[in-house]
Structure formats: structure tokens, C-alpha cells
Amino acid sequence: MDMETKAKQYCIATKFIDDKLLSTVNHMDGLKQVVLLSDGMDTRPYRLNWPSSTIMFDISPLRVFQKAAEKLDGVGAKIPQRCLFLHVPLETPNIQETLVTKGFNGTRPSVWAIQGLPLMTLVSFEEILLTVSGMAMKGCLFFGELPAWLAETGIGNKSSMKKWINNIFMSYGFKVDMISYNEVAKRLGKVVKPGDYEKILFVAEQLRCSDDQMETWRKELQRVDEDGDEE
């Protein structure tokens, strides 16, 4: 019974993230940047109906990703036409720099989703938050599913968990909302049996400017100052 509840919870979270990704991407103009933080076996790049000009970056463990890619290729899985799919190994020393090298543009909108990414410590999650905060433009969304142990509180202690998630996300410039699995299940016409869940479903909005936005504005201010000096 416990496994059945957890499996249904995972499916509900997956459907929620799928729908949120597509609804967000379809409202973007021009190049659509999607960053997936996964376990290396995320099939979203293959199975979702991505619009043209979508570029997807998968951040996950290299060895797992390579094995999954081989199996997907073996069954003929294809990325939608006019879309691009790139992998960034989780083991990369500087994920932010690698994303930029592969074409990520911090002055364009992006959407970030996390599900299954192996997080060993709270520090490893804070490093992810730091990366997203530095690269996502103001107004961009970061959502998905996190292990509840990150909150360092009892799973049933909802008020403490909510306080923790608000504090840690706000410290990196995000406004966050916890999403109820039961409410999502109801919208899907499903029922989740009561029980202790070991995951947190969330949606966060970036309130700060990305590093690239700040650099662009810094250069513009410098140019204005130089023009003023010349006059």
C-alpha cells in the first residue's frame, strides 16, 4: 500500500511538471530555453510536444544519462524537429559556465524543472539554487519536486516545512509556493490516499535579475557615463 501511494504521488507530480513546462514554454517568444535537472533518465525531451525553437538542457549524472540515451536511441526515440537537446553532466565543476558554453543565454527567458536529481546534502541543493538564481531572468519559473528531508523537519510538520522552504528560496531571490499533491490529484480526477509524503512539490518565481541581465545593464550605464563625459 505504501509503494502504491508513492507511485501515484510520483505520477501526479510528473503530470503536474509536464503540464507546467508546456504551458510556460508555449508563452515564451522566440528561442525557448528549458533546463531539466534530472536523474539522467528523464524522457521529457522525447515524449512531450515541444514547440519549434525549443532548446533543452539536461543536467544529470553522466553515466546514467549515457546508458539511458543508448536505450532510447535503440528504440528509435527522437527529439521533436527544430528542437535541440544538450546534456550537462552533474559532475561538471562549473555547471553555470558549461551551460553558457553550450549556448544558454541569461538575457532570454528560461524555465527550470527539477525531478529525480540526486541531492545528497542541503548544500548540494543550495548550489543548484545558486546556479538557477544566477542564470534565470527576472520573472522566470523554477518548479518541480524535492525530497522532504531537505527541510530538516518532520514530514507531517507542514507549517515548519513551509517556513523553511520560503526562507531558503527567498534567500536566493525566489518567491515560492508549495503545491498540494491532493489538489493536483483532484484536478486530474484522481485520489491520493492519506499518508506521509516524502516529497515537496513547488513552484518558484525569480524576483532578481540574472547575472547576464546585470552585466548588460552595467555596460549600458558605463556607456551612458562615457557619452556624458565626452559631451
Give the pLDDT of residue 216: 84
What does the pLDDT look like over 181-213, one tens digit per residue? Answer: 889 988 888 877 766 668 899 999 999 999 888
- What is the arrangement of strands in the sheet containing 110-115, beginning at the earlier edge strand? 84-89, 54-60, 32-38, 110-115, 141-147, 199-206, 174-179
What does the pLDDT look like over 134-176, one tens digit per residue? Answer: 999 999 999 999 998 888 644 455 558 888 899 999 999 999 9
Judged by average pLDDT, the poorest of 40-54, 59-73, 108-122, 210-224 is 210-224
What does the pLDDT look like over 176-186, one tens digit per residue? Answer: 999 998 899 88
Give the pLDDT of residue 15: 95
Task: Please list, in sequence order, all residues whose beta carbon lies within 8 angstroms of the beta carbon of residue 145, skipping any fewer than 6 positions away.
Answer: 13, 17, 114, 115, 116, 199, 200, 201, 202
Residue 19 pLDDT > 60? yes
Give the pLDDT of residue 231: 62
Give the pLDDT of residue 155: 47
Residue 52 identity: S
What does the pLDDT look like over 82-101, one tens digit per residue? Answer: 999 999 999 999 999 999 99
107 within 8 A of 216, measured Cβ to Cβ? yes
Instruction: Return the CATH fold of 3-229.
Output: Rossmann fold (3.40.50)
Residue 61 identity: P
Instruction: Name the residue ranges covered by the structural domains of the chain.
Output: 3-229
Distance CA(115)–CA(202), nearest Å, equals 11
pTM for the predicted model, two decimal places: 0.89
